[in-house]
């Protein structure tokens, strides 16, 4: 690297091929991954990892009934064969690869999962599904699963430090393009791969990475997660068996960094600076979602709720609404006329209007009927959006918004926050709030009396000797008398597949 931080044109690894002799990025990453041991986990990292996994499991259970998951389950060749890995919220087991695809897609189906401001996306969902699918097959302990989670998150977020924010602004979906590497790292750890094979898995992941932001607001966005999680696991599984790849696939002149970012837009040494000191999962830039919609809209929602609560604002008294957000929060959320539930999750106009009318934003607000409610839709033409002039692109604070209300009586009310990455850092979600969210999510798939025992088991995940002790609690328990009522569907119902009923119900 040159003195100004740009890449040196003489850097030999940029043109490295299969015969490169110096340590490649994949090899250096593999060395870090293989050197990691469970005893390296700090108390804080363990706690944050446990909380993130609890949240992700809840989101996965909630996402199972969604059409994007049900369509996959009706697609020939997906989850057809029996296997050791559970599809969360069902009694079906299939291969680890197919379970990862389905559970990974379900985990992001509602866009309710946690976020990383550094990653520019969702750090937990790419790694959690493969950890459970592979971990269940290998009968790993909860402590080992937590270790795999921490090293997976470390890998994907460290890579993001090398490529963001150019990578994000260019249109890539970092959850998928970077999450593939996190999934590969987590799986490599569980499989106990050596440095050479871990490096091969990472190089394979470079070819498997994909996902563009143009598909935000559609079923394809959660599919990005299922696809990237499966691909990361796939990379590790075939690398274990000796599948070849170019260890210089990241820095090659036609490699991942050059193709996905471009020359002089990435800084590889940032991957390794202060690795594990602290662990990325300990960052204040991570946050749990309090609202079931795009994290980029949360600062505006929070400010609207503050106005409603503190100023006792009523929707009928508002003449105009201005939402000024950090520029990076708007390209994928500036949607003044959402017509579907998925589009509404990416409409800063809809979610702030909903916060104004109801004083809350809940799962039920993203059903099609709710999106079209007249009392909310009449507010949409009153909302004007734009980038905030006081929130620069190069600021370390990337999640900010100001909401300004012009009242019919002429008053002007405003609330501003410069940085809010959901509920994390100095504003964490309490245990009670976490359970309330988990209960709301898990209740879409499990009986009410199953939820608290599952939550308590996940709260003590590091004491579990076999992940099967957890996954058994993720299967629905239905009395025979209830089964006919709950699981009977028409042949073309989204909850059947070729005459076979699934366990997910609306």
In degrees to the nearest 10, what's the CA dihedral of 203, 206, 207, 211? 160
Q: How many CB atoms lie within 10 A of CB 83?
A: 17
CA dihedral for 428, 430, 435, 440, sign (positive or negative): negative
Give the start-to-end residue ranges of the domains of the chain.
Answer: 28-287, 295-417
Q: Is the peptide bond before 278 cis (omega within 30 degrees of 0)?
A: yes
Structure-token pair, residue 112? 């309710």
pTM for the complete prediction? 0.82
Supply the Cα-derived Rg of the chain in whole angstroms.
23
Rounded alpha-carbon distances, angstroms, from residue 14 to 10, 165, 274? 8, 21, 23
Condensed to tens digits (0 to 9), the pLDDT of residues 130-153 reads: 999 999 999 999 999 999 999 999
Q: Which fold has domain 28-287?
A: 2-methylcitrate dehydratase PrpD (1.10.4100)
Predicted confidence band of residue 68 (pLDDT cuts 50, 70, 90)? very high
**Is it true that domain 295-417 has CATH number 3.30.1330.120?**
yes
Contact 136, 187 (CB under 8 A): no
Condensed to tens digits (0 to 9), the pLDDT of residues 369-425 reads: 999 999 999 999 999 999 999 999 989 899 999 999 999 999 999 999 999 888 988
Cα separation, 502 vs 74, whole angstroms: 10
Residue 424 confidence (pLDDT)? 86
With CA atoms as reference, report the closest residue to 354 among 326, 374, 334, 327: 374
Structure-token pair, residue 459? 């709260």
17 pLDDT exceeds 50?
no
Residue 477 confidence (pLDDT)? 83
């Amino acid at each position: 690297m040159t003195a100004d931080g740009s890449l040196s044109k003489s850097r030999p690894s940029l043109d490295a091929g299969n015969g490169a002799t110096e340590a490649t990025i994949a090899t250096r990453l593999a060395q870090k991954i293989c050197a990691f041991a469970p005893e390296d986990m700090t108390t804080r990292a363990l706690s944050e990892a446990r909380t993130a996994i609890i949240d992700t499991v809840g989101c996965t259970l909630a996402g199972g009934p969604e059409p994007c998951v049900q369509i996959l389950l009706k697609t020939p060749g997906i989850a057809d064969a029996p296997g050791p890995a559970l599809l969360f919220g069902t009694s079906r087991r299939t291969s680890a690869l197919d379970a990862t695809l389905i559970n990974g897609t379900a985990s992001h189906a509602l866009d309710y999962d946690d976020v990383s401001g550094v990653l520019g996306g969702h750090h937990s969902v790419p790694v959690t599904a493969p950890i459970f699918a592979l971990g269940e097959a290998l009968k790993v302990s909860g402590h080992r699963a937590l270790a795999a989670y921490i090293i997976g998150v470390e890998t994907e977020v460290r890579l993001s430090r090398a490529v963001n924010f150019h990578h994000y602004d260019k249109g890539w979906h970092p959850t998928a393009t970077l999450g593939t590497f996190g999934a590969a790292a987590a799986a490599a750890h569980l499989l106990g791969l050596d440095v050479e094979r871990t490096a091969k898995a990472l190089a394979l992941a470079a070819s498997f990475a994909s996902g563009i932001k143009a598909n935000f607001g559609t079923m394809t966005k959660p599919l990005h997660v299922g696809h990237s999680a499966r691909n990361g696991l796939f990379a590790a599984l075939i690398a274990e068996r000796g599948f070849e790849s170019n260890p210089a696939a990241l820095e090659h002149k036609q490699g991942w960094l050059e193709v996905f970012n471009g020359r002089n837009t990435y800084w590889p040494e940032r991957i390794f600076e202060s690795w594990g000191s602290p662990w990325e999962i300990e960052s204040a830039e991570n946050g749990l979602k309090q609202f079931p919609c795009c994290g980029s809209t949360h600062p505006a929602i929070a400010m609207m709720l503050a106005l409603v609560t503190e100023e006792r604002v009523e929707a009928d008294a508002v003449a105009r609404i201005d939402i000024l957000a950090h520029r990076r929060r708007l390209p994928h959320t500036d949607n003044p006329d959402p017509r579907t539930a998925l589009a509404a999750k990416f409409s800063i106009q809809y979610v702030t209007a909903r916060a104004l009318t109801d004083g809350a934003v809940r799962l039920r607000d993203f059903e099609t009927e709710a999106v079209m409610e007249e009392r909310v839709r009449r507010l949409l033409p009153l909302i004007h959006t734009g980038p905030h002039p006081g929130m620069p692109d190069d600021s370390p604070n990337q999640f900010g918004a100001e909401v300004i209300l012009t009242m019919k009586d002429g008053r002007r009310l405003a609330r501003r926050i410069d940085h809010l990455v959901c509920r994390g850092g100095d504003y964490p979600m309490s245990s009670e709030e976490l359970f309330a969210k988990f209960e709301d999510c898990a209740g879409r798939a499990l009986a009410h009396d199953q939820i608290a025992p599952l939550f308590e088991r996940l709260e003590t995940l590091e004491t579990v000797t076999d992940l099967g002790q957890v996954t058994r609690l993720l299967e629905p328990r239905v009395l025979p008398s209830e089964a006919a009522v709950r699981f009977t569907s028409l042949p073309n119902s989204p909850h059947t597949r070729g005459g076979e009923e699934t366990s997910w119900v609306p």
